[in-house]
Copies of this chain bind each other. A is one copy, B any other.
């Protein structure tokens, strides 16, 4: 592994120099991956890794179906966040209060909401959803009062299976269980594959919901070093695999880092967990919000042993308040259905109808196309605004999709303190401390850019940047 790593970095360095000495100019097309392979006499994977590395540093960019180009953002001003060495289990105060504080702002319309992982209303097809609800209620004879099957509406499960083209038919309606959003899916999955006291490997920084679920179930979180472009360090994972009971990762457009784990890494990840017989809970709620040419594969695609529990929802893309999510739990399906029977019996049936209908008639895919375009435009606006208003030593993630931006600020800054100061100006963000069980990421923050881009948003970022500058 070490040799391979050196090789791809060497190739990347050569191309980087060509860009810097302007042998390759902005907008120039790069040689194909096959050419690189032949030129340097390396494997196709090494050639790909070299390009991924350059892409991760914003020096080059891939364009759908045509190839790689010297990036327009190769003049990107700000660096990527660092890979954080995981702190020792500290005794610092827990982030629960911070999380409650952030969630308490849900219903406050006067707050410029950069904190929560929710799409703004301008992203959502409200009129079509209204129609869908009225259609659903009128086409039912029970007004939604009947209980659904515990596993979930058959119609909805069938439509999700059909719509999940990325899995190429590997998941059928029978493999799916409907849940109250993806967080509920993850909770069920963790419960099904562990017992209290067990350890679960997670990314770091990690989505705080996962951290909280692990804690609530009496489990231990093992935070792994996580690269801002490739995701978890597979070598580090390999070391802990014999001692853990499950992995729980956000593999596509990670929350909070925005990375898309490369296919090679996903394959290797599935190979590893299969070898060690450790279930992988894959939170893939952002997978359809890609900026690139196509929907990235989830690890579930490579899973032959039924060890990957693949979770999704419409909460990030269509209707957060409907609480409709799902999971394809592989081997653990029966266990999860039983848990669901005890915990909630079943889901409200009306929303199942609405979402199934949306999927069936292509309205969801149509909506997602619009959503992705808006989202990418917003990302560029946010990136520009942060470059403009924040200090030059700000490090910024480079999401490949999704709607989270991760900022690493000057070491002297404590974003938890900043949170209150920003709150006084009715501006909200997620302080970095929420994303670890350890006392770290205190100088980081997560911003949600799936909101209406307007003067208010621009001003919000401007004020936030000023606040950061004044805090040093």
Contact = CB atoms under 8 A, between A and B. Distances in A.
A470 interface: no
Main secondary structure of the interface of A (DSSP, over half): helix
A106 B152 CA distance: 12
Nearest to A154: B107
Given A99-B341, A342-B209, A323 B350 contact: no
B121 A142 contact: yes
A396 interface: no
A146 interface: yes
Interface string A143-169: 111111110000000000000000000
A83 interface: no
A12 to B, nearest CB: 41
A130 interface: yes
A30 interface: no
Interface stretch (A16-24, A212-220, A439-447, A452-460): A212-220
A184 B343 contact: yes
B150 A126 contact: no
Nearest to A352: B321
Most chain B CB inside 10 Å of its own CB: which residue of A107, A143, A149, A344: A143
A118 B142 CA distance: 13
A205 B437 CA distance: 43
A181 B337 CA distance: 17
Interface residues of A, number: 60
A276 interface: no
Contact of A130 (B129, B137, B348, B351): B137
Nearest to A182: B345
B341 A103 contact: yes
Most chain B CB inside 10 Å of its own CB: which residue of A146, A321, A322: A321
Contacts of A2: none
Contact of A183 (B209, B218, B342): B342
B319 A346 contact: no
Contacts of A319: 143-145
A349 interface: yes
A183 B321 contact: no
Nearest to A141: B126
Contacts of A124: 143, 145
Question: What 7 A-B pairs are tightest by C-beta distance, nearest first?
Answer: A129-B143, A180-B344, A126-B143, A145-B319, A212-B342, A145-B321, A133-B137
16 contacts: A96-B338, A100-B337, A107-B149, A126-B142, A145-B318, A145-B321, A180-B180, A181-B344, A183-B343, A213-B343, A216-B342, A323-B345, A323-B346, A343-B343, A344-B344, A348-B348
Given A183-B345, A344-B344, 10 more contacts: A99-B341, A106-B148, A121-B142, A121-B145, A126-B142, A133-B133, A147-B320, A183-B344, A184-B344, A212-B338
